[in-house]
Amino acid sequence: MNNQLLTKLKNGDVKSLARLLTIVENNLAFADEYLKSLKIKNTPVIGITGPPGAGKSTLVNALLIELAQKYKIAILAIDPTSPFNLGSLLGDRIRMVSQFNNPNVYIRSIATRGSLGGLSVKTIEMVDVLKAADFDYIFIETVGVGQSEVEVAGLADISIVVLVPEAGDDIQSIKSGLMEIADIFVVNKSDREGAQTFANHLKKMVHQQTYNIPVICTVAHQNKGLEDLVKEIKQFKIKKNNRKPYLLMEKAWRLIQNEKMKSIKKEKLQQEIAEASLELNFNFYQFIEKFKNS
Ligand SMILES: Nc1nc2c(ncn2[C@@H]2O[C@H](COP(=O)(O)OP(=O)(O)OP(=O)(O)O)[C@@H](O)[C@H]2O)c(=O)[nH]1
Ligand SMILES: [Mg+2]
């Protein structure tokens, strides 16, 4: 293990950061030791989730224009890959070109394998590497497909849910799961017709809940409506997150589960099960027995 790498990480050396992220992402030599030696800070983690094409990347880019003059910011863009075809579903989703060369901004994209849009253990670990570097804010962008919103909430101190006023969209169709995880709702593409009505309905719905969640209208590609969002993000830093113990438990659970399941490789399991299931009278329960205590 190279201790210098950790010192350099703490001091903001970008090359060391990239190296450590790669070590952790690919589970290279000493990955575990590096993780155990990290001095993890309380850097605020801001999760941005929402349907494909809602404008999440554009919004992050617009936020960077506001924040990156003064603060150092890391962005982790999570590309969901389908478990059925190993290519990325959406291609490289980093289109935040205008901030790409800003020395205050570090952008990294990772592909989650197997879990559609979900957060892998690698993501959790990579965020911790970022927290040991010298950033003021860490943004995580994920596409909202089912479980992933909830998983991002497990990692983020603030969860921003980005919605778009679709024509004829029924506000009631917003999944209750989104209600539970959102700390801030953003109605992006507010230049579209019906945006105000959509936002008003959303506000009404949100205010029926026990605590107030801000609903902020933005036009991300024109950098409009960002002031309120920046204000909320800055304010949130000092608020207490009541979900923290639950979220930490979930995180511990995942990492322990990952460790315990290490000897079982999904590809191999699939191969074996494919063969075994061809046998006459294949019994699934007998089949899995041998994996239980391996
Ligand atoms: N009209 C309008 N278009 C917008 C707005 N914000 C973003 N867009 C456009 O919407 C498209 C998608 O924006 P992205 O930022 O890539 O959306 P995304 O949510 O990151 O997309 P994925 O990462 O692929 O899920 C782009 O063509 C943007 O220029 C907005 O406020 N109004
Ligand atoms: Mg994007």
Q: How far is the CA of 146 from the centre of ligand 2 (A)?
A: 17
Kindly state whether residue 9 falls inside one of the protein's structural domains: no
Q: Which atom of ligand 1 is nearest to the CA of 61?
A: 15
216-219 long-range contacts (CB < 8 A, ≥24 apart) are: 216/184, 216/185, 216/186, 216/187, 217/186, 217/187, 217/190, 218/55, 218/59, 218/62, 218/186, 218/187, 218/188, 218/190, 219/188, 219/189, 219/190, 219/191
Residues 106 and 197 in one domain: yes
CATH (domain of 190): 3.40.50.300
Residues 112 and 72 in one domain: yes
Residues 144 and 268 in one domain: no
Residue to substitute in 90, 164, 221 for testing ligand 1 pocket (most ligand atoms within 8 angstroms of CB):
221
Q: How far is the CA of 67 from the centre of ligand 1 (A)?
A: 20
Q: Which atom of ligand 1 is nearest to the CA of 54?
A: 19
Strands, E, within 172-218: which ranges? 184-187, 215-217
Kindly state whether residue 11 falls inside one of the protein's structural domains: no
Residues 103 and 241 in one domain: yes
Quote the tokens at residue 261: 């399941």
List the residue whose alpha carbon is closest to atom 8 of ligand 1. 55
Q: How far is the CA of 268 from the centre of ligand 2 (A)?
A: 33
Residues 131 and 269 in one domain: no
Kindly state whether residue 25 falls inside one of the protein's structural domains: no
> Residue 81: what pLDDT?
55
Kindly state whether residue 30 falls inside one of the protein's structural domains: no
Kindly state whether residue 28 falls inside one of the protein's structural domains: no
Residues 214 and 268 in one domain: no
Is there a contact between 14 and 106 (Cβ–Cβ < 8 Å)?
yes
* Count of residues in the chain: 294
Residues 167 and 192 in one domain: yes
Residues 170 and 78 in one domain: yes
Pocket lined around ligand 1, Cβ cut-off 6 Å: 52-58, 90, 93, 95, 143, 188-189, 191, 219-221
Residues 160 and 269 in one domain: no
Is there a contact between 227 and 65 (Cβ–Cβ < 8 Å)?
no
Give Cβ neighbours of residue 203 (< 8 Å, ≥ 6 apart). Answer: 215
Nearest Cα residue to 120 out of 85, 145, 148? 148
Residues 224 and 241 in one domain: yes
The DSSP code for 243 is T
Residues 72 and 215 in one domain: yes
> Structural domain of residue 272, as residue ranges?
264-292
Residue to substitute in 49, 57, 58 for testing ligand 1 pocket (most ligand atoms within 8 angstroms of CB):
58
Beta-bridge partner residues of 240: none
Residue written as tokens 């993780």?
35
CB contact burial 179-193 (16+ within 10 A = b; e otherwise):
bebbbbbbbbbbeee
- Which of helix, strand or coil describes residue 108? strand
| DSSP code per residue over 3-63 | HHHHHHHHTT-HHHHHHHHHHHHTT-TTHHHHHHH-------EEEEEESTTSSHHHHHHHH
Domain count, the chain: 2
Residues 44 and 96 in one domain: yes
Q: What is the pLDDT along the chain (294 residues), one digit of tens a residue?
A: 999 999 999 999 999 999 999 999 888 999 999 999 999 999 999 999 888 889 998 999 899 988 999 999 999 988 765 444 444 444 444 455 566 678 899 988 887 654 433 456 788 889 999 999 999 999 998 876 555 566 666 678 888 999 998 754 566 656 666 777 788 999 999 999 889 999 998 888 888 875 678 999 999 999 999 999 999 998 875 455 566 677 678 778 878 888 888 888 888 999 999 999 999 899 999 999 988 876
Kindly state whether residue 281 falls inside one of the protein's structural domains: yes
Kindly state whether residue 4 falls inside one of the protein's structural domains: no
Kindly state whether residue 34 falls inside one of the protein's structural domains: no
Ligand with minimal distance to 54 CA: 1
Q: Which atom of ligand 1 is nearest to the CA of 50?
A: 19
> Residue 92: what pLDDT?
46
CB contact burial 14-26 (16+ within 10 A = b; e otherwise):
eebbebbbebbbe
> Residue 151: what pLDDT?
64
